[in-house]
Amino acid sequence: MATKSLIYTEIEKRLFEAFPQLTALYQKEFSYWVDWDKERPGNYLIFAMVVVPYLVAQLDEPGDERTLTKLFAFFEEMAVSDDPEVVNLLKSEMVRTLVRDPERLAKAQKHMRQQVRELLSTVR
Determine the Cα–Cα distance for residues 99 and 120; give it in Å rounded to an integer.
7
**Are 82 and 123 contacting, i.e. CB atoms less than 8 angstroms apart?**
no
Q: How far apart are CA 76 and CA 72, in angstroms?
A: 6
- pLDDT digit string (tens) for 81-112? 999 999 999 999 999 999 999 999 999 999 99
Mind listing the pLDDT tens digit for each residue in 62-79?
777 899 999 999 999 999
10 Cα distance to chain centroid: 13
Whether 38 has a pLDDT exceeding 80, the answer reads: no
- 119: pLDDT strictly greater than 60: yes
Residue type, 55: L
Query: Above pLDDT 90, what percent of the chain?
Result: 75
